[in-house]
Amino acid sequence: MTEQVQIFDTTLRDGEQSPGATMHVEEKLVIARQLEKLGVDVIEAGFAAASDGDADAVARVAGAVRRPIVLSLSRTKRSDIERAVRSVEKAQKPGIHVFIATSDVHLKSKLMMSREEVVDAACWAVEFARQHLDYVEFSAEDASRSDRDYLTHVFGQVIKAGAKTLNVPDTTGYAMPSEFGDLIRYLVENTEGGGEVRWSAHCHNDLGMAVANSLAAVRNGARQIECTVNGIGERAGNTSLEEVVMALKTRSDLYPGIEVGVNTEQIYPSSRLLSQITGIAIPINKPIVGANAFAHEAGIHQDGVLKDKSTYEIMRPESVGVQSNRLVLGKHSGRHAFIERLKELGVDIAEVDVSRSFTRFKSLADRKKNIYDEDLLALIAEESVRTPDRYELVDLSVHHQAGEQPAATVRLRVNGEEKSESANGDGMVDACFKAISTLVGTSPKLERYQVNSITEESEAQGEALCLLSDGEFQVNGQGIHTDVIMASALAYVNALNKLDYRHKHQRPVPVEGP
């Protein structure tokens, strides 16, 4: 007999809580469609009560995907639940995720509620939500640090109130795998009605245990894992979707009868797309999707892999969408070859403006001899999230001579009107950023700046990432170009657009009460 482990993706909710990971609604839609292609079972599209922008994003995602359940997070408050319910109205499969904390430290210091008040609030919220929706998940925030017997009591009561999925969060990333697995088993066996519901694990990675804890949960009865693409999320992040899925698939011998419905060949494209949209780099040694994940450096390893791949390879790169045949197209490649390669990479041609993308491909091929899969995925990702932004970089020229201060002249379109400005700086990038800041009339703090190459050769495209903060919000910007100064300016402008968006659409509602 087989049993499905449901993949609950919270990239758009918990993932977005990652510092600087703000996405605007069009970007969220692109991610949601990619998650559907990836085959996740549930998409947590946001926290509708958090801001008007969040509510709108949940509603748009709900209307944009068909197969996955789409839900919104909600506190146990009537107004939150009503907003969450409204936001998923258009979903083919709507749901809601209600949560309240259950650990004594949260009850005492954050909620200022007694244990029985929390039980009442949880039951009331689940019952109220069930009057509107069939699919109700309940989470006991900080479950791993809650008293076990109290937890079984809370869970037993919310099952009676109508919750169908019970989520056990390791909110602070404190648990160890054997302990977390044991907790899940205890809850399954000791909660009244625990045999009739789906148990779920939601792990944070503060001690690097999120994936291990999620796997331990599955071995002990959990049949849903909550995770994010690239493991992004609050602080050290959440369970990484690609790692947990590939662990279940690669070591299926340890999880007999367990099935996961993810289309693994969409893992790498999903990972790249998210990184490009959020501006959060993928560490080179990150399992599954890092640049070095399938690279064999040591001679003895290379020798072994050439003789027989299974000497050192436990997964085929192609199985997660990383093509081992890397060299693809160039200046002389035609439209047909371009389209065929996109199809091989799992890109849905119906969703792409082929003429426009092909023109951009040709212009890239004029600047760069070899176009690799990574370049193509980056180009398609850029196209898919093209939205009218407030600031648009039109042109850039830089000048630097030994002994002189570097200078930059930048032309920017601001609300459709072109403006130009020059500035000097400590380096060419600094000069560009100063000119741009003067043009937009704001100079947020540059918290982090880095440039990576998308592929390995010296003519590779540079991917610039920057983290800006203006005291109220923190945002990441990303830009790709064969010229790294241009990539940096694009990243800076991208971050400024995100700041502008946050100020307009994502001012959070004040957080009060449970």
Interacting positions 92-121 with ligand KIV (CB under 6 A): 99
Task: Select from 75, 202, 286, 481 the one that contacts ligand KIV (CB under 6 A).
Answer: 202
Q: Are 155 and 194 in contact (CB under 8 A)?
A: yes
Q: Give the nearer residue to Zn ion in terms of CB position, either 41 or 234.
A: 234
What does 74 interact with, of Zn ion, ligand KIV, none (CB < 5 to 8 A by kind)? none
- The distance of closest approach from Cβ of residue 70 to ligand KIV in the complex, given in angstroms and rounded to an integer, is 16
Q: Give the nearer residue to ligand KIV in terms of CB position, either 238 or 276.
A: 238
Q: Which residues of 38-62 are buried (b: 16+ CB within 10 A; e: fewer)?
A: bbbbbbbbbbbbbbebbbbbbbbbb
Candidates 144, 129, 314; CA nearest to 213 is 144
Interacting positions 1-20 with Zn ion (CB under 5 A): 14
Q: Does 153 bind ligand KIV (CB under 6 A)?
A: no
How many positions of this chain bind ligand KIV (CB under 6 A)?
10
Q: Does 41 bind Zn ion (CB under 5 A)?
A: no
If residue 203 lies in a helix (H) or strand (E), which one and from where to where?
strand 198-203
CA atoms within 13 A on the CB side of 421: 18
- The distance of closest approach from Cβ of residue 413 to Zn ion in the complex, given in angstroms and rounded to an integer, is 39
- The distance of closest approach from Cβ of residue 13 to Zn ion in the complex, given in angstroms and rounded to an integer, is 8
3-state SS record for 61-124: HHHHCCCCEEEEEECCCHHHHHHHHHHCCCCCCEEEEEEEECCHHHHHHHHCCCHHHHHHHHHH
Beta bridge partners of 418: 413
Q: Give the nearer residue to Zn ion in terms of CB position, either 203 or 381.
A: 203
- The distance of closest approach from Cβ of residue 367 to Zn ion in the complex, given in angstroms and rounded to an integer, is 42
Nearest-angstrom CA–CA distance, 340 and 81: 46
Nearest-angstrom CA–CA distance, 202 and 99: 12
Q: Does 165 bind ligand KIV (CB under 6 A)?
A: no
- The distance of closest approach from Cβ of residue 202 to Zn ion in the complex, given in angstroms and rounded to an integer, is 6
Axis-axis angle for helices 210-219, 177-190 (nearest 10): 40
Sequence length of the chain is 514
Choose the stretch contacting ligand KIV; rule: CB under 6 A; options: 166-174, 451-459, 480-488, 492-500.
Answer: 166-174
Q: Give the nearer residue to Zn ion in terms of CB position, either 237 or 321.
A: 237
For 166, which DSSP code?
E
Q: Give the nearer residue to ligand KIV in terms of CB position, either 204 or 341.
A: 204
Q: Does 173 bind ligand KIV (CB under 6 A)?
A: no
Q: Does 74 bind ligand KIV (CB under 6 A)?
A: no
Nearest-angstrom CA–CA distance, 197 and 383: 42
- The distance of closest approach from Cβ of residue 202 to ligand KIV in the complex, given in angstroms and rounded to an integer, is 5
Q: Does 139 bind ligand KIV (CB under 6 A)?
A: yes
For 315, which DSSP code?
S
Q: Give the nearer residue to Zn ion in terms of CB position, either 166 or 410.
A: 166
Residues forming contacts to ligand KIV in the complex (CB under 6 A) are: 14, 73, 99, 139, 141, 167, 169, 171, 202, 204
Residues forming contacts to Zn ion in the complex (CB under 5 A) are: 14
